[in-house]
Amino acid sequence: MKQKLIAGNWKMNGGLAANKALLHELQQGLAHALDSKHAQVAMCVPAVYLSQVQQLVMGSGINLGAQDVSMHEHGAYTGETSASMLKDFAVRYVIVGHSERRQNHGETDVQVALKAQRALSAGMTPIVCVGETLSEHESGHTEDVVKRQLAAVIHANGHCISEIVVAYEPVWAIGTGKNATPNQAQEVHAVLRAQLKAATSQAERVHILYGGSMNAANAAELLSQPDIDGGLIGGASLKSADFLCIIAAAAR
């Protein structure tokens, strides 16, 4: 059976002391209460903390992740971080196309596809985010939007598309307290799985995560759906007890 993947996304949160305390609590919980054989864990942290977190998670079973990567290899791109730079810190996963990047920084489907390509070329796994806004959801365009977003990534990376992770994050459910029902989430995940199957014979290898306000209370029901292979966790990843509950739900 494929392991579930639980990836935390700290967003623009953290601090040297807080990071150390949180990761210590997580490692204690993972060591004493959970069977890590049934769930993979990653933590995607702000770039300024990659060095610290790399040292803190070493040997713990927690994989290091970044929150973004440049679509450029190197050059005059002040403020950006290249895939080779992330690789220097043993980054395993990198989020690309998060809805906040698409909305706040105007990232296009093509740019997201190129970022995924850079990550793959450096031997990292891109967590490719797709999802619809509230207006797109209410107008019945969910399927069209997520298929368009994923299609761009498949087009640019078709030869190795089975190496990516996909995260469905309904924009209207991120940080709002709202949440897609397990059935609604499963329906979209099934659409994404079918699209991947049309692109590769190894589509079942691809983890499709749910990223719309998964928390300790709803994780078990969401993770019981056949095409939900884990979660991309925002706020709950900053609370050790909540994050451990989600990991435990994934490990069942």
Residues with catalytic annotation?
98, 169
CA-to-CA distance for 52 and 50, rounded, in angstroms? 6
- 3-class SS of residue 8: strand
Greatest CA separation found in the chain?
48
3-state helix, strand, coil in the chain (%, to 5): 50, 15, 35
* Cα–Cα separations (whole angstroms), residue 98 to 202, 217, 249: 24, 24, 24
The DSSP result for 57-85, as a single string, is HTTTTEEEEES---SSSSSS-TT---HHH
For residue 175, what are its two tokens?
A: 């940080």
Angle at 185 between CA 179 and CA 186, to 5 degrees: 155
* 233 beta partners: 8
